[in-house]
Amino acid sequence: MKLTEQESRLLDGEEGEIKAIAMSYLVKLGRAFDGQEMVDITYAHMSSGSALREGEIDYLEELADKGAKVVVPTSSEVIPLDLLHPEAISAPPDIVEEHMRLQVVQRRMGIISTYTCVPFTQGFVPPAGSYIASMETAAIIYFNSVLGAKTNRCGYFVLYAALVGKYPKIGYLLDENRKGTHLVSVEAELKNPTDYGAVGYYVGSIVGSGVPVFQGIHQPRQEDLMQLGAALATSGTVAMYHIPGITPGSRTVEEAFKGNRSEGTVRVTPREMKTALGSLTIARSPQVDFVFLGCPQYTVEQVRRVADLLEGKKISQSTTLWVGTNRMAFAMAERMGYEEMIRKAGGILVCDTCPMLSFLRLDARGKRGKPGPAFRTMLTDSPKQARYAHTTIGCDTIVDSVEKCVAAAVKGEWEG
Partner 1 sequence: MGEGRTIRFKPVLAGKAKGKALVLREPISFQGEIDEEGKIVVSGNPYVGETVAGKILIYPEAKGSSGGCMMLRLLAKRGKKPAAIVNTRNLDPNLVEGAILAGIPMLCYPQADPYEMIATGDLVEVDGEAGTLTKIG
Q: Does residue 390 belong to the site contacting partner 1 (CB under 8 A)?
A: yes
**What distance in Å separates the CA atoms of residue 413 and residue 105, rounded to the nearest whole number?**
43
CA-nearest of 388, 384, 416, 411 to 400 is 416
| Maximum Cα–Cα distance across the chain | 65
Q: How far is the CB of 134 from partner 1 (least distance, A)?
A: 9
**DSSP3 helix / strand / coil % (the chain, rounded to 5):** 45, 15, 40
Instruction: List the one residue from 83, 112, 147, 170 that touches partner 1 (CB under 8 A).
Output: 170
Instruction: List the one residue from 224, 387, 406, 410 that touches partner 1 (CB under 8 A).
Output: 387
Q: Do 115 and 326 form a contact (C-beta atoms < 8 A)?
A: yes
The 38-77 contact track toward partner 1, x by CB under 8 A, reads: ---------x--x--xxxx---------------------
Q: Does residue 234 belong to the site contacting partner 1 (CB under 8 A)?
A: yes
**What distance in Å separates the CA atoms of residue 392 and residue 144, rounded to the nearest whole number?**
28
Q: Do 327 and 349 form a contact (C-beta atoms < 8 A)?
A: no
By C-beta, is 167 or 196 nearer to partner 1? Answer: 167
Q: Which of residues 279-298 bind partner 1 (CB under 8 A)?
A: none
Q: How far is the CB of 136 from partner 1 (least distance, A)?
A: 6
**Number of residues in the chain:** 416
Q: Does residue 203 belong to the site contacting partner 1 (CB under 8 A)?
A: no
Q: Do 51 and 96 form a contact (C-beta atoms < 8 A)?
A: no
CA-nearest of 144, 169, 168, 161 to 225 is 144
By C-beta, is 123 or 366 nearer to partner 1? Answer: 366
Instruction: List the one residue from 212, 236, 347, 355 that touches partner 1 (CB under 8 A).
Output: 236
Amino acid identity, position 407: A
Instruction: List the one residue from 6, 237, 260, 281 that touches partner 1 (CB under 8 A).
Output: 237
Q: Do 269 and 243 form a contact (C-beta atoms < 8 A)?
A: no
By C-beta, is 132 or 307 nearer to partner 1? Answer: 132
Instruction: List the one residue from 67, 208, 264, 416 that touches partner 1 (CB under 8 A).
Output: 208
Residue 221's CB: how many other CB atoms inside 10 A?
13
Q: Do 223 and 299 form a contact (C-beta atoms < 8 A)?
A: yes
Q: Contact region for partner 1 (CB under 8 A) — 7-15, 95-103, 149-157, 405-413? A: 149-157
Q: Contact region for partner 1 (CB under 8 A) — 26-34, 194-202, 296-304, 309-317? A: 26-34
Q: How far is the CB of 388 from partner 1 (least distance, A)?
A: 4
The 329-368 contact track toward partner 1, x by CB under 8 A, reads: ---------------------------xx-----x-----
Q: Do 197 and 227 form a contact (C-beta atoms < 8 A)?
A: yes
Cβ-Cβ contacts under 8 Å for 344 (sequence gap 6 or more)? none
Q: How far is the CB of 152 from partner 1 (least distance, A)?
A: 5
Q: How far is the CB of 204 from partner 1 (least distance, A)?
A: 9
Say how many CA atoms lie within 13 Å of 274 toward its Cβ.
6
By C-beta, is 190 or 233 nearer to partner 1? Answer: 233
Distance linking the first and last C-alpha atoms of the chain: 56
Q: Which residues form the interface with partner 1 (CB under 8 A)?
A: 25, 28-29, 32-33, 47, 50, 53-56, 135-137, 140, 152-157, 170-171, 208-209, 233-237, 356-357, 363, 387-388, 390-392
